Amino acid sequence: MLRWQGMTFPDSIFAARFGLNGRDLERYLAEALSRGGDYADLYFEYLATSMVSLDESIVKTASQGVSLGVGVRVIAGERTGYAYSDDLSPERILHAARVAACIAEGPAKLDKFGLQTGPKRNLYPVVTPSTEAEFAAKVDLTQRADRAARAYDPRVFQVQAVFADSLREILIATSDGVVNTDRQPMARLSVRALAREPGGAPQTGFAGGGGRVELRFFLDEKTPEYFAREAARQAIVQLDAVEAPAGEMTVVLGPGWPGILLHEAVGHGLEADFNRKGTSAFTGRVGHRVASELCTVVDDGTLASRRGSLNLDDEGFPTQRNVLIENGILRGYLQDKLSSRIMGAAQTGSGRRESYAHIPMPRMTNTFLLAGDSDPEEIIRGVPRGLYCTSFGGGQVDITNGNFVFSASESYLIEDGRITRPVRNATLIGNGPESLKYVSAVGHDLKLDEGIGTCGKEGQSVPVGVGMPTIRIDRMTVGGTH
Amino acid sequence: MSGTLTALAADIVRQALAAGANDAECTISEGEEFSANVRMQEVESLKEAGSRGAALRVVIGQRSGSSYTSDLSSAGIAKMVASAVEMARFTTEDPHCGLPEPEELGALEQDLETFFDDVRQLDTEEKIARAKRAERAALDVDPRIANSEGASFDSHLGAQAFANSRGFAGAYRTSYVSLVAIPLAVEGESRERDYWFTMARSVARMKPPEEIGRIAAQRALRRLGARKVATQRVPVVFEPRTARALLGAILEAVNGEAIYRHASFLAGKLGERVASPALTVIDDGTLPGLFGSAPFDDEGVPTRRCVVIENGVLKNYLLNTYTARKLGMKTTGNASRGYGGNTGIGPHNFFIAAGDRTPEEIVRGIADGFYVTELMGFGTNIVTGDYSQGAAGLWIRGGELAFPVSEVTIAGNLNQMFQDIVAIGSDLEFLSSSAAPTLAIGEMTVAGH
C-alpha cells in the first residue's frame, strides 16, 4: 500500500507550475510497478536555455527555448522498461508509466513506502541563474570577446564567440521512497579565432569555459578577454607550426584539459555497465596494477561550481569522490542503480542521463589525476626528444580492446630538454590498461580544465570535467606525418 | 497528423507577425520512437515514447530572433512567440538574414518514399525477435564470439511541418527502422568488438537479421590478435565505412558557413581541381527511399541534385539562403535547422560516385599497405586540412588482407590526400544518408612503434 505522508516540495517548479504533489508521484510509481517491477523512478525535467552567437563582429543569433518532460523507468531483474512524455498531464504520465511497466510480467508490487525528501546540499549556489540574467549582458560578453581576440594580433581575421546557458530543474522520485529536487545551472563562453599571415593559409584557435556559475563569473573571474586572448594566441602559435613527428616517443602533457587522457584511457573502461557485461578491457582487473605507482585517479562529482559536478546524480543519489586508481592499482568502478543492483556493489553517484528522454547509465563527473611532487619545468628538462602537448580537440576510446586516442590541438617539440617548435595537429594513441604504466613523472601543478567538456556515450551527451598536473609518459604513439 | 501540424505552424507564423515580426518561419516536428535492446538473448531494455517540438525564427527589420519549445499548449506557444520577438532586439542588423525569395520556395511533388506504414504495423514481439535473431546469428558464427554488447531494434515515425510568412506551408512524414548487432570476439588476451547494421525507411527493405549478425561477428573475429606495425609511409585503403568519414570531412569543408568565414581548406577554390579526376561527390535530396530525401529543406526550398565535386573539380558549395547571400550565390536547398538558433546547413543524400573497380581488385594491386576498417578521434582540421586519426584494420601484403592491425594512426593533409586518390570502388551502397565506396589513397604516414 502506498501511503500519502503529506510531503511537499514547494521550491520545485513542478509543484508551483504543474501542480505536482506527493500523492501524484506515488500514484505514478504504483502504476509503474503495476506489472511487478522491482524498482521504478520518475525523472521530471524543465530545461530553459539561451544562446547568443557572434560572428564577423555581428550578433547573428539570439535564441531562447524551453523543453520539459518526464521519464518513467521500471527495473525488473536485469531488464529496464522506459517511457517518457513531454506532456505533464496526469493521463500522459500514467500512460508512460503503464508502458514502462510492461517490462515486468507479474502481479503488482505492494511495496509499503512513503516518499521522503532526500538530504540537501548545494554545490552550486546560484542566486540569479544566468538564464534569467539581463540578455544584453550576455551579448556584451560576446562583443568583448570579439574585440579582445582581434586586438590580440592583427593577423586575427575571424572571430566567433558563443555564450550559452541553461537552467535545468529536476525532480526525481523513486520507489525506494525518496524524492529529490535540484536546480542545475550551467553557463559557457567559447571563442574561436582564425589567423593568417598576409596571403597565407588560415590557422585556428579555440578556448572556452564556464561551469555551474552565475553570469558574474564571466565578469569577475574568467572574462571574455581571458578566453579570447587564449583562442587568438593558439591560432597565432599555429602559424609557425611544423609537421608533427610520427611514431613512439616520450610525451609530456601539460596541466588541465590534457586530463582528457584519463577520461578516455581509464574512465570509460571503469563504467560499471561495461564491466558487468564483461565487455571492458578493465573487466576483472580490480586490485591489479594498471598504471605506474605515481598515478592516483579520482572521479569527483562534488567539486563546487564545476561543469561536471552534481548535487545528486540523475537517479537521485548523492554524488561523491570515487577513487578509480590508487597508486597505480585499480580500485573500483563507477556504478549506477542498475549495475550496482546486479553486481551487488554500492552506488557511486554516477548514474547520469542526457534528459528525461534517456535511460540513465554510469558516467563520469570530474575525472582527474592527483598531483605528484615533480617540478613541471624539471619534467620537460629531463626529456631529450619528445612532444609537449598543452591542448586537445577531443578523444575517443574502444572500450573492449582499450585503445584510445586524443587529438592534440596545441603541441611543441621537445629537443634536448627545451620546448622548441610548435607542431601541427596530431592524434595520440595508446592502450588504456597499458599506457599509464609508462607515467614516469607527475607534476605538483594539478589543474582542472576551464569547463568546456561534453562526453558522449551511446548517443547521450553530458557535461564533464577533467584535470591533471603535468605528466611525463615515456612511450606513446604520436600520429604525425614526419 | 501532418495536416494539423502544418496548420499549427502556419498559425504560429501568423501569431509572430501579429506580435511585430516582418517575417517568420516555423518548423514543427513530431515523433514516436521505439527501441528494444537484447543482450545474450535476453531483453535488456524496451523504450517507447512520443515527443513534439516547435522552433520559430522571426525577422524584424534586419534583425532575427529565435526560440523553441516542447510545450505546444497555447501558453507555451505564446511564450515562444514573445521570446523570439524579444530575442530580435539583441541581434545586429544584418542585410542577409531574411527568408528565401517567394520564387525560391516550393516542394517536390513526386513520392520520395520517406514513409512506410509497415513500420507502424510491426509489433513489439517481432522487433524483439529480430534483435534476438541477429545476436543469435552472431553468436553462432564461431565459438570465439563469446560475449556480446547485444543487438538493438529501433523504429521511428515522424512528421515535419514547415510554414513561413512568404506563403509556404508544407509537411511530410518519415519512418525508419534499424537493427544493429555488436558482438565481442575473445581469444586469449585479445578482445575485439565490432558491429554491423541495417537501416531502412520500410521494414520490407531491411536486410535479414541473420546477415547482420553474421557480418558483425566476422568483422569482430578478423580483428583478433591485432598488432601494431612499424611507422612507415604506405598506400591506405578505406573500406566504405571509413571512406564515409573522409566524405564527412568534404561535407564540413564545403559547408557555406565555413566558406564565407574562410574556415575551410576548400574555401575560394570553386572551379579548381581539388581532388583526383576519379572523385565525384554529389548531394541529392530527390532519390526515393533514401534517408536524406525530402520534398523541401528547412527553409521551404525544394531539394535538388547538387554536384559538389565533379571529376576532381570543385563545382558547388552547400548553401542555405543566408550563406548564399553572403557569397553572392543561390541556395542549394541545404538549409537545416535544429531547435536552437539560426538555420544551419545539412546534406541530403551525400555520396561519392561509384568507381569501376571491385574492392578485391583495389587491394590486389597493393604490395604493402593498410586497409582501414575503423577510425578514431577528432584529428581532422577543416581549416588547414591537416588529418591525423587513430586507426585499426588489416595489413595488406602481396595484394591480400594479411593480418589485423590496431593502435596506430594515419596522417596526411586532406588537400594532398584527395589529389592522391588512386582508386575508387564500385561498391557504393546507401546504409545511411551518406555513402562512399572503397577508396584508396596513394600514400599516407602510418605511425606505430
Tell whether A177 is within 8 A of chain B (Cβ).
no
pLDDT for residue A110:
59
> A127 or B438: which carries more pLDDT confidence?
B438
Q: Nine-digit cell at A274? A: 561495461
For residue B300, pLDDT over 90 is answered with: yes
Residue of chain B whose alpha carbon sits nearest to that of A394: B378
Asked if residues A256 and A230 have their Cβ atoms less than 8 Å apart, the reply is no
The reply to whether residue A67 touches residue B70, judged by beta carbons under 8 angstroms, is yes
A135 → chain B, closest CA residue:
B90
Q: In the prediction, which pLDDT does A16 show?
A: 82
Do B292 and B438 have their domain in common?
yes
Number of Cβ within 10 Å of residue B14's Cβ equals: 15
Interface mutation target, options A276, A392, A398, chain B, most CBs of B under 10 Å: A398
Residues B271 and B340 grouped into a single domain = yes
Q: Do A160 and B341 touch (CB under 8 A)?
A: no
**Local structure of residue B148 (DSSP, 8 states):** E
Q: What is the value of pTM for the model shown?
A: 0.95
Residue B140: how many other CB atoms lie within 10 Å: 13
- Which of A66, A83, A426 lies at the smallest CB-CB distance from B70? A66
Distance from chain centroid for Cα A165: 15
pLDDT value at position A66? 94
Q: Which domain holds residue B439?
A: 226-449
Taking Cα atoms as reference points, which of A267, A279, A265, A277 lies closest to residue A434? A265
Which of A60, A86, A196 is the closest to B70 by Cβ?
A86
B327 CB within 8 Å of a chain A CB = no
Answer with the one of B221, B240, B257 that is the final residue of a domain.
B221
Residue in A103, A204, A398 nearest the CB of B263: A204
Q: Do A103 and B392 touch (CB under 8 A)?
A: no
Task: Verify that B241 and B189 share a domain, yes or no.
Answer: no
How is residue B427 annotated by DSSP?
-
Same domain, B272 and B392: yes
Average confidence score pLDDT of chain A:
93
Contact A96 B445 (CB under 8 A): no
Count of structural domains within chain B: 2
Residue B434 grid cell: 551518406
Pairing of strands B386-397, B434-435: unpaired
Contact between chains at A81 and B386 (C-beta distance less than 8 A)? no
For residue A398, the model assigns a pLDDT of 93
Question: Could you give the count of Cα atoms lying within 13 Å of B421 in the half-sphere of its Cβ?
Answer: 26
At residue B325, what are phi and psi to the nearest 5 degrees? -65, -40
- Kindly indicate the confidence band of residue A7, based on its pLDDT and cuts at 50, 70 and 90: low
Indicate the residue among B179, B197, B221 that finishes a domain. Answer: B221
According to CATH, where is 3.30.2290.10 located in chain A? 13-238
ipTM, two decimals:
0.94
Shared-domain flag, residues B430 and B286: yes
Confidence of residue B367 (pLDDT cuts 50, 70, 90): very high
Inter-chain residue contact B392 with A244, CB threshold 8 Å:
no
Same domain, B217 and B230: no
Tell me which residue has cell 502556419.
B10
Mean of the per-residue pLDDT values for chain B?
96
CA-based nearest distance A91→chain B, Å: 14
Whole-angstrom Cα distance, residue B342 to residue B55? 10
Is A84 in contact with B49 (Cβ distance < 8 A)? Answer: yes
Rg (CA), chain A: 24
Domain check: are B192 and B92 in the same one? yes
B255 Cβ contact partners less than 8 Å away, ≥ 6 residues apart: B264, B317, B318, B345
B261–A160 C-beta distance less than 8 A: yes
Question: Of B218, B213, B216, B223, which is closest to residue B191 (Cα–Cα)?
Answer: B223
Q: Tell me which of B190, B221, B252 is where a domain ends.
A: B221
Chain A, 40-59: which have a CB under 8 Å from a chain B CB? 49, 51-53, 55-56, 58-59
A246 touches chain B (CB under 8 A): yes
pLDDT score for A6? 46
Kindly state whether residues B195 and B312 are assigned to the same domain.
Answer: no
Do the Cβ atoms of B449 and A80 come within 8 Å?
Answer: no
Task: Please name the residue of chain A whose CA is at the shortest distance from the CA of residue B326.
Answer: A56
Give the residue on A whose Cα is nearest the Cα of B231. Answer: A247
Amino acid at A284: G
CB B319 within 8 A of CB B347: no
Q: What is the pLDDT of residues B148-201, one digit of tens each?
A: 999 999 999 999 999 999 999 999 999 999 999 999 999 998 999 999 999 999
| B449 with A424: Cβ contact below 8 A | no
A244-269 mean pLDDT: 95
pLDDT of residue A3: 37
Superfamily of domain A13-238: PmbA/TldD superfamily (3.30.2290.10)
Q: Is the dihedral of CA B286, B291, B295, B298 positive or negative?
A: negative
β-partners of residue B447 are B409
DSSP string, A250-318: EEEE-SSGGGHHHIIIIIGGGBHHHHHTT-STTTT-TTSB-S-TT--EEEETTSTT-TT--SB-TTSPB
Beta bridge partners of B352: B281
Q: How far are the Cα atoms of A268, A293, A336, B104 from residue A436, in angstroms, in the given order?
A: 15, 9, 26, 58
Q: For residue A288, which residues of chain B lie inside 8 Å, CB to CB? A: none
Q: Are residues B193 and B283 in the same domain?
A: no
CA torsion angle A277 A282 A284 A285 (round to 10): -160
